[in-house]
Amino acid sequence: MQVTDKITHAIIINQIALNNNEAIKHTQYYKRNLKAKLNTLLQELYFCEKDYDAFFNSEENSTCDVYDVYERYTKAIASIPIYECENIILIIESYKKDPKSIEGICKKILK
């Protein structure tokens, strides 16, 4: 992965982290130790938000598209129990070796 890709990924991921962690502030769990740690984290993520805003202002449509893909991806991965992630790694490795076959299998299964 090129450096510019890594920076782009980091900017998008930081924004998703900000949005998801900000949502925790509106739950019953936002208290004591979690509140203190979350506030520290959010301050750092607010600082990074200017990078996302600059990125968004220069490439609005593609930024939204990439953000949406990352958000769907993280929600999908997070919905899988950690002990099943070995199977997901196997699927990803298979996809990297033969994308068309894996896409065909997925479409067939999802019919």
pLDDT band at 4 (very low <50, low <70, confident <90, very high): confident
- Nearest-angstrom CA–CA distance, 75 and 71: 6
Pick the residue with more confidence: 56 or 87?
A: 87
Token digits of residue 61: 């449509």
Q: 81: alpha, beta or left, given left = phi > 0 and alpha = psi -120 to 50? A: beta
**Residue 24: per-residue pLDDT:** 93
The structure's pTM equals 0.66
**Residue 91: per-residue pLDDT:** 94
Average pLDDT, the chain: 88
